[in-house]
Homo-oligomer: A and B are copies of this chain.
Amino acid sequence: MEKILNYIDSKKDEHLAQLIEFLKFPSISSDSNYINGMKDCANWLVEQIKSIGFKNVGTRKNVATIKQDDGTIIEREGHPIVYGEWLEAGPDAKTILVYGHYDVQPVDPINLWHSKPFEPEIRDGRLYGRGTADDKGQLFCHIKSLEAYMKVYGKLPVNVKLLFEGEEEAESSLDEFIAKNQDLLKCDYVVISDTEWFAEGVPSICYGLRGIAYVEVKVTGQNRDLHSGTFGGAVDNPLQVLAWMITQLKDKYGRVTVPEFYDDVVPLTEEERKEFAKLPFDDEEYRKDLEVGALSGEIGYTTLERVWCRPSLDVHGIIGGYTGEGAKTVISTTASAKISTRLVPHQNPEKISRDLANYLRKIAPPTVKVEVTELHYGSPVLLDMKGKGITAAIDALKEAFGKEVVFMREGGSIPIVSVFKEVLKAPSVLMGLGLPKDNIHSPNESLKLENFFGGIRASALFFNNMK
């Protein structure tokens, strides 16, 4: 192991130069103007993986089957999936699937960047550029640690499959690819480096993610826009009905009122609450950072518990009536809102989505008609905190960074984790290398160089621990 780690430490300049090359591809998956940036990036990644000695390496077609509103099915080819494998550790060795994504978020608002998003720049021990932390920089740590094994020993301690998608920041259809390629992707564990540490200097293993159920509701009242002078006071107002319906979705204690909503929620354990309470977190700092007069949420829970372990409900958009300049005295026929709930284990997103839609329909007064569209959903995840994978990751991070490792959960969703669990029957290990200040999805995204170099070491240690 010593030899591997020394090799890794001796190659810092080379690793950094290669990462910068990788980051220069403008691989924005959600914008069709960047289709070439996506292809070039995927091909570059293929060459990298080939060069370290992996087999069966190439881009794979990713075709999504989409059911349209009229019932017809169309196929849409998505961005290429990069795959490669090295399976010579033998049938008794564990097989680890490394998942990551080479696509990145759009760069708007571009004027807030201090250096160009696709021309990475080092400032104060950080590498700035789109994709540095999310997720090119993190996934590259695994490629470089595997390269180190191949260069030093010509082999790996375990079997490894690499799966890098190009649609994580868009409408991913990787779930279909996994379903169709179960043999190809068969593995014992999945390792994913696409999450953040709890804080700088606090290496963390994430063991829980929230799911999501997202609906759109449209309220329609009378058949035409009305003049509020002539009709005001005699006819219900769809905007006020929608406002009332939204208000009905939570009670005065901040709890979601959809029937059976909490039935399947796994309660926080006393141990979890104690562990969370030990983390370096301060409500007052959090409040000041957001510049709000007060925090708010479900009664009886701390902020970390609220965002990590309790479901929530948010309205993301609302529109209706006259929204231009000045005054117009219209009673609008319609108003609509986008609403989602974040879900925790073992809430079923499909059931919650349906229950929320039905509840909205049910509480609607007879003065209006209500249409609810279920837009999408994703499962929450709770990973085993004890298995071999987690232990290997904890030990790897601890040794690579020389710090104690904490357990944490995240409020966001990585829907693919539940697909790995359900389809491949493989537990995931979320060995994140990012930090809260990396500004992912925002201008001036960056990755701390210490976390990049340490991440390569941690990856090498992880594979060794999985022997």
Cβ contact within 8 Å between A221 and B170: no
A108 with B306: in contact, given A230-B411, A411-B231 (CB under 8 Å)? Answer: no
A317 with B332: in contact, given A196-B230, A234-B307 (CB under 8 Å)? Answer: yes
The residue that A240 contacts in the complex, of B225, B246, B293, with Cβ under 8 A, is B246
Cβ contact within 8 Å between A292 and B30: no
Q: Which residues of B contact A338 (CB under 8 A)?
A: 321-323, 327-328
Cβ contacts A269-313/B at 8 Å (1 or 0 each): 000000000000000001000111111111000010011001111
Cβ contacts A321-358/B at 8 Å (1 or 0 each): 11111111111100101101010000000000000000
The residue that A170 contacts in the complex, of B222, B286, B327, B330, with Cβ under 8 A, is B327
What separation, in Å, do the CA atoms of A226 and B307 have in the docked complex?
A: 13
A228 with B312: in contact, given A239-B317, A332-B317 (CB under 8 Å)? Answer: yes
What would 11 more interface pairs be, CB under 8 Å, given A106-B322, A243-B246, A330-B442? A224-B442, A230-B410, A230-B436, A233-B298, A235-B296, A242-B243, A243-B315, A317-B324, A317-B330, A317-B332, A329-B340
What separation, in Å, do the CA atoms of A375 and B329 have in the docked complex?
A: 12
Cβ contacts A21-58/B at 8 Å (1 or 0 each): 00000000011100000000000000000000000000
Question: Closest chain B residue to A412 by CB distance?
Answer: B229
A222 with B314: in contact, given A297-B233, A325-B32 (CB under 8 Å)? Answer: no
Cβ contact within 8 Å between B230 and A412: yes
**CB of A399 within 8 Å of the partner chain:** no
**CB of A82 within 8 Å of the partner chain:** no
What separation, in Å, do the CA atoms of A112 and B228 have in the docked complex?
A: 19
Which one of A11-19, A174-182, A361-369 contacts B? A361-369
Chain B nearest CB, measured from A311 CB (Å): 7
Cβ contact within 8 Å between B294 and A411: no
Q: Which residues of B contact A290 (CB under 8 A)?
A: 222-224, 226, 235
Interface residues of A, count at CB 8 A: 99
**CB of A212 within 8 Å of the partner chain:** yes
Q: List 26 A-B contacts (CB under 8 A).
A: A31-B324, A105-B328, A108-B324, A169-B328, A226-B442, A227-B440, A228-B342, A230-B307, A231-B307, A232-B312, A233-B312, A237-B314, A240-B247, A240-B250, A240-B314, A243-B247, A292-B368, A296-B365, A296-B367, A315-B321, A316-B327, A317-B324, A319-B320, A322-B338, A326-B375, A328-B441
A222 with B30: in contact, given A228-B340, A321-B317 (CB under 8 Å)? Answer: no
Number of this chain's copies in the complex: 2
Chain B nearest CB, measured from A230 CB (Å): 5
Cβ contact within 8 Å between A297 and B234: yes
Cβ contact within 8 Å between B291 and A412: no
What separation, in Å, do the CA atoms of A242 and B376 have in the docked complex?
A: 25
Question: Closest chain B residue to A210 by CB distance?
Answer: B229
**CB of A188 within 8 Å of the partner chain:** no
Q: Which residues of B contact A293 (CB under 8 A)?
A: 366-369
Q: Which residues of B contact A264 (CB under 8 A)?
A: none
What separation, in Å, do the CA atoms of A222 and B289 have in the docked complex?
A: 9
Question: Closest chain B residue to A441 by CB distance?
Answer: B227
Cβ contact within 8 Å between B233 and A310: yes
Cβ contact within 8 Å between B342 and A316: no
Cβ contact within 8 Å between B330 and A294: no
**CB of A443 within 8 Å of the partner chain:** yes
**CB of A244 within 8 Å of the partner chain:** yes
Chain B nearest CB, measured from A399 CB (Å): 27
